[in-house]
Structure 1
């Protein structure tokens, strides 16, 4: 395979999504790309990328752009992974999407966020309290392992009504399946993603059958009442798991790291709980957990003047949109009171995240628990990042106090 030709004079060499230096801080690269234009071809990713806020908004909202699922190949080797995505709300367009979104939104909006909020806040208090004890006893504790990775899994398990032992397996399934979204996951991770998908399908089908016989106060029961077929129910549950878990883990990790690297902003938030709502939005904007979102042209179209022929893909670089000075004043500064804040962290248009209200509750509950249990929190060590580009997050975040 020949390497891509050198870029024309006056352009930047496309970033390498696997380069550790780029992953450590991609935002200067994004700023340089924005300065050259709103859309750029990217041979390493294999798709053009939108880097301005306006261009990314076009990608997310354009009527001639959609999510057209193409099975992972060889299809016979990825039956469960393909089933989850072929039946996902995120991978449908037009009337099939509208029908499924209406049914899922109707089920999701039956008071589940309000029902879960007291449990979310109590669980955040419990987990952060344990972390604070560990910090006092050992001198440091890992926010990711102790809080961020546990809270959203427990909340999603409560939402779906998942019992043990499957509840304990949810985090591993989610972490493994989402590696398939990276530009080059490799043979071993692809095989592991299929195994995790198969285990998830089996567990959710068993849960659905149980709820048919014994309905409960959970989303699976409401989805059954909404008349989703068996595969649609499993695909919807998988989307909630992967989007809800991965996004919340990484918002909490990336966000708390940003606050501790801007201690004046942490003190401001610590001393004024009224800032929690704006702080949550700012943490999502400042270092987004999802960096890239692809769509496919269903008809010949353009994005910011860049041609996108029918059948070809284009990606929105959400991290680049989040630092666009045309939309955000002082975009590289963290401001927990920022208003307005038109970030794209929950998407836009027909695929706007249905779980956004619940994710906001989880992040706000964690910040409130940290405020009370570890008011003088600080970094105990430089945190290692996950080696992934699309899903941006930390392996661990060791905290200390005092």
Structure 2
């Protein structure tokens, strides 16, 4: 194990990439005692294991906690697990297959296409107001409000309630970090209770009075093969996941991406000169400094990685940040290349858990970056930002700029 891999260290969180290079050089699978996980740093292995059905986001579809050699979570955490464990991200077949098929009927490419004018309008309004103010914290002024507003619009959440969403999401996502504290769990449980109650009420209203929103579409969706519909808990969990996954990564990609561009002035100048680079630039910014650094999977049946047998009951940590800088998969991976044509990054995952909202995320990122490129051609950094302590979902505390 590479001694420099230390997710609890602020210096590691600020720049984990040298540690990743050391891990890749040392081998393909490494036992990490502090979290009792096998670290997998190579792109080929990460990509293959994301698709390998011998691994799962859960094991409860095949084993009890005791059969799998695991301790059940504390009963006090139940509200968080009720919300989290019924969402697409933490389910396996057959439930995952059924729910994803139903959600896909409502969350269609046409849904995203219909949202495009709203996304561009919101991006223009936020960027325009930020420029008119002369700058400030780009993260809180532009990066955060845009995806929250978009997913709230999509779900049909009334505007006065939208300020509730980001705090709920932040508290719930704290549980995705490595070894979360009991205080983190307490906040996540409280947010899960409040968010679940809010969504149940919203769903009840939409049952009586459907609208042109995603909640109404989820209520109406049914499976033509067996007539199945989403249960209420599945619907609540799906809506919560769409919010959490639908904006946490986009917020951090926006802020991390601008921090990357501001540290590469020649690349930023090239992008300002040619906005046609935006599609490949967005993909490259997601690769270069992905907001989701690690994705966990349970080993349901023994696997072998580079000659190391990883037994059933173990947990693997797929290092997305390392995979995205693997020289075996990317030409000059440490270089920021905004015109990179071959870019098989894993920032959206792969396999059955590939991000359902990837098209919407790309739309939001292109609109946000495009508006700021147009409206703030002289944007510059005020102070070097600090990173939040979280490592799995990795982002800045703020990004202060001026014009």
**TM above 0.5, one fold?**
yes
Q: 2:136 matched to which residue of 1? A: 141
CA deviation after TM superposition for structure 1 residue 75, in Å: 4.0
Does the residue aligned with 1:294 lie in a helix, a strand or coil? strand
Does the residue aligned with 1:41 lie in a helix, a strand or coil? strand
Q: In structure 2, which of residues 148, 152, 155 is the aligned counterpart of residue 157 of structure 1?
A: 152
CA deviation after TM superposition for structure 1 residue 73, in Å: 5.8
Does the residue aligned with 1:141 lie in a helix, a strand or coil? strand
Contact 2:5 2:20 in 1 (8 A): no
Aligned mates of 1:306, 1:154 — CA distance in 2: 46
Alignment of 1:268 onto 2:267? no
Q: In structure 1, which of residues 17, 36, 41 is the aligned counterpart of residue 26 of structure 2?
A: 36
Q: Which runs of 5+ in 2 are unaligned?
A: 66-70, 222-228
Aligned mates of 1:46, 1:345 — CA distance in 2: 24
Contact 2:59 2:300 in 1 (8 A): no
Aligned mates of 2:53, 2:10 — CA distance in 1: 36
Alignment of 1:58 onto 2:53? no
Deviations along 1:293-333, whole A, 9 cap, x unmatched? 01112212223333221222111000000100011111111
Deviations along 1:3-38, whole A, 9 cap, x unmatched? xxxxxxxx5226221101111100011011101112
Aligned mates of 1:155, 1:197 — CA distance in 2: 21
Q: 1:89 matched to which residue of 2? A: 88
Aligned mates of 2:257, 2:59 — CA distance in 1: 32
Q: How many residues align?
A: 387
Aligned mates of 2:253, 2:292 — CA distance in 1: 9
Q: 1:224 matched to which residue of 2? A: 219
Q: 1:3 matched to which residue of 2? A: none
Aligned mates of 1:305, 1:103 — CA distance in 2: 40
Q: Which runs of 5+ in 1 are unaligned?
A: 1-10
Deviation larger for 11-20 or 25-34: 11-20
Deviation larger for 195-204 or 56-65: 56-65
Deviations along 1:374-398, whole A, 9 cap, x unmatched? 0111111101111110001011001
TM-score of the superposition, structure 2-length normalised?
A: 0.93
CA deviation after TM superposition for structure 1 residue 183, in Å: 1.3
Q: 1:167 matched to which residue of 2? A: 162
Q: 1:116 matched to which residue of 2? A: 115
Contact 2:168 2:191 in 1 (8 A): yes
Contact 1:39 1:55 in 2 (8 A): no
Q: 2:188 matched to which residue of 1? A: 193
Q: In structure 1, which of residues 183, 200, 206 is the aligned counterpart of residue 201 of structure 2?
A: 206
CA deviation after TM superposition for structure 1 residue 181, in Å: 1.1
Q: In structure 2, which of residues 259, 283, 286 is the aligned counterpart of residue 284 of structure 1?
A: 286
> Per the alignment, do residues 69 and 149 of structure 1 end up closer, same or farther by CA in structure 2, a change over 3 Å counting?
farther
Contact 1:16 1:44 in 2 (8 A): no
Contact 1:78 1:194 in 2 (8 A): yes
CA deviation after TM superposition for structure 1 residue 39, in Å: 1.5
Does the residue aligned with 2:258 lie in a helix, a strand or coil? helix
Q: 1:25 matched to which residue of 2? A: 15
Q: 2:377 matched to which residue of 1? A: 375
TM-score of the superposition, structure 1-length normalised?
A: 0.93
Contact 2:284 2:338 in 1 (8 A): yes
RMSD: 1.5
CA deviation after TM superposition for structure 1 residue 90, in Å: 1.2
CA deviation after TM superposition for structure 1 residue 363, in Å: 0.6
CA deviation after TM superposition for structure 1 residue 189, in Å: 1.6
Aligned mates of 1:329, 1:232 — CA distance in 2: 42
> Per the alignment, do residues 164 and 77 of structure 1 end up closer, same or farther by CA in structure 2, a change over 3 Å counting?
farther
Deviation larger for 70-79 or 308-317: 70-79
Does the residue aligned with 1:386 lie in a helix, a strand or coil? coil
Contact 2:41 2:320 in 1 (8 A): yes
Deviations along 1:186-236, whole A, 9 cap, x unmatched? 121210110001111001111111110111111111111122110000111
